[in-house]
Structure 1
Amino acid sequence: MSDLWYSGAATLEEKKSKSIIHPFTVKSYNGLAINPYQGCGHRCAYCYATYEWSPEFYDKIYAKSNASEVLDRQLAEWKSDTIEPVMVASATDAYQPAELRYGLTRRCVKVLQKYNVPYIVFTKSVIIERDLELHRQYRDNCFIIWSITTCNEKIRRVVEPGTPPASKMFQVMKKFTDAGVCCGVYVDPIIPLVTDSDEDLEAVVRSCKEAGLRYVFGALMRLRTDIWERMKLVLRLLEIPDGIEKYKQIYNFEEPLDANYVAANRRYAEKIIGSLEDRIKSYGMECGFPDYMGPRRIDRSHLGQTTLHSYLV
């Protein structure tokens, strides 16, 4: 089973994209998303973006080399005068190590700013620190969210071996909040029997407060056939007593798991999420998104006056 996702460093390859901005829906959220990269080197065992349609997700990173040009064209041709916030990125990490080589996310962010488009960045990376000034100058129209799973290094090395330590991410967050950039943490996913203890949740929430964050929220891990196969190995590597049987109770299933997604039972979910939210509120932080992240009027006043090249430097 060790070849499920621990298979060495990913390879990089360039590709062209015909379209870059797409509708994006998750639970009750409806908006837009761009993904300058396809695939991800973080190798998170719980990753939802892997599945039958992306068998190379961990092993081959595709850089959409024309992403910023395509994004510029799509925004110039946008049919509405307003636009919803754009998620950067929804199916991978826009600031994964490939960004050091290609800089596609930076170029796309410049295009979003050029058209006055609000954006939300989801990341597990510290590479975003390179773009601190870029986001700072747009701080009233963006929201930076770090996805944190655990502050426990033993667990991180098993569950998400390609990510930086949480302590490094919190250091970068502090630099962003000190610069006046609105930031948040998504405790996602909370992994039953692995990161759901009082000690683990407390460590994450306390670190959020120390980093100057205002917004923190979280979600429990959902199971899917491929995720379950990886999680069984995680439970064994971490030596969780009776972990597999306890998961069957928490998620109410018997093997083989044959479903698109399986959620934890309601009693367990309410207990864990309630505990997280109580901690967040006790530290004076908020659960959710800032109110200002709404639709904006697209700015096309520059069209015909400025070439795209000046935004790609």
Structure 2
Amino acid sequence: MSSGLWYDVSAPRYEAKKAKSIIHPFAVKGYTGMTVNPYQGCQHRCAYCYATYEWSPEFYDKVYAKSNAPEVLEKELQSWKASTINPMMVASATDAYQPAELRYGLTRKCVQVLQKYNVPYYVFTKSTIIERDLELHRRYARNCLVIWSITTANEKIRRIVEPGTPPAERIFAVIKKFTDAGVPCGINVDPIMPLVTDTDEELGAVVDRCKEAGVKYVFGAMLRMRDDIWDRMKLALRLLQVPDGERRYRQIYEIKEELSADAKQKYIACNKEYGKRVTDRLHEIIKSRGLCPDFPDHVRPQDIDRSCTGQMTMLSFVHRDI
């Protein structure tokens, strides 16, 4: 995937396809769990995106809608072997509420299936489209958690590093509606980009907006580097006019040459001392505003409920909301 493909702000092409399975395991930072991704690809065009791999070279320009995702999800829950089920992440490799959701509505239908079977879930998003489903999540507030990914409250930065996302002003307005409605919410300031969003001013602006929006839990992590991410970040640093940005990034991430072939799909963390200094400062800022610098433990494993099986066919369930 070239840097040019990332920064092209034209709308992606949509294409429907069938999925053989929909529940998949995932692991991140030592945590293992399960995820449902109703879409493949994403319109947000974030320069730092971790989900852009060689197996999806058109990640920004073609979004696949897994048109049978709700049916497959229900079948997999019907045949779930254990009596309990861990929280499901919606979604781990795309934004489940990107603009494609306005056309296909697959996330809403998958969430309805999860609720039907008493499955706890997390939603990670940086979209305002989730506002359409406020009531859906509100009535399941005991068993769900919405995590908003906010990297910056600075419009100049946002327009360059994530041009397909809504402005922070609009996102925080939606977050306020969710917190006012009693839906548990958290903010993930991830990734924190060295030389771009790692200053007290930048971090403080995000945390202040979190407090105003009624969010209690705020946490974050430093940008991890990979070959394709590095290519995009070099362009982003130039567009942001970061003084000597590429050379300084090479120091921060200890990149001596271009990443070798065997490192192309491996993540590179920033210098430990640098990263710890920034994340420690973020924690201090969060606590100084009376907020919690940790991931909430609101959502826990639940007994799966199969009493609903057979009450209605999946076909009628899916098409009821179209």
Gaps of 5+ in 1: none
Percent same amino acid among aligned pairs? 67
| Aligned twin of 1:116 | 118
Q: Does 1:105 align with 2:107?
A: yes
Q: Does 1:69 align with 2:75?
A: no
Q: Does 1:56 align with 2:62?
A: no
1:1-313 counterparts in 2 under 5 A?
3-7=4-8, 8-258=10-260, 259=263, 260-312=266-318, 313=321
Q: Give the Cα–Cα distance (whole angstroms) in 1 for the partners of residues 65 and 285 of structure 2.
A: 39
Instruction: Give SS of 1:121's match.
Output: strand
Runs of 4+ in 1 over 3 A off after TM superposition: none
2:258 maps to a residue whose letter is P
Instruction: Give SS of 1:110's match.
Output: helix
Structure 1 residue 2, shift from structure 2 partner: 5.5
Do the aligned partners of residues 289 and 311 (structure 1) sit closer, same or farther apart at CA in structure 2, a change above 3 Å counting? farther
Asked if the contact 2:43/2:98 (under 8 Å) is kept, the reply is yes
Asked if the contact 1:87/1:121 (under 8 Å) is kept, the reply is yes
Instruction: Give SS of 1:287's match.
Output: coil
Q: Deviations over 1:97-132 (max 9, x none)?
A: 000000000000000000000000000100000000
Q: Give the Cα–Cα distance (whole angstroms) in 1 for the partners of residues 287 and 221 of structure 2.
A: 16
Q: Give the Cα–Cα distance (whole angstroms) in 1 for the partners of residues 72 and 204 of structure 2.
A: 43
Instruction: Give SS of 1:140's match.
Output: helix
Q: Give the Cα–Cα distance (whole angstroms) in 2 for the partners of residues 75 and 101 of structure 1.
A: 25
Asked if the contact 1:110/1:311 (under 8 Å) is kept, the reply is no
Asked if the contact 2:3/2:231 (under 8 Å) is kept, the reply is no
TM-score, with length taken from structure 1: 0.98
1:285 maps to a residue whose letter is L
Instruction: Give SS of 2:6's match.
Output: coil
Structure 1 residue 4, shift from structure 2 partner: 3.8
1:286 maps to a residue whose letter is C
Structure 1 residue 302, shift from structure 2 partner: 1.5
TM-score, with length taken from structure 2: 0.95
Q: Give the Cα–Cα distance (whole angstroms) in 1 for the partners of residues 207 and 311 of structure 2.
A: 47
Q: Give the Cα–Cα distance (whole angstroms) in 2 for the partners of residues 292 and 173 of structure 1.
A: 17
Asked if the contact 2:11/2:43 (under 8 Å) is kept, the reply is yes
Asked if the contact 1:4/1:230 (under 8 Å) is kept, the reply is no
Gaps of 5+ in 2: none
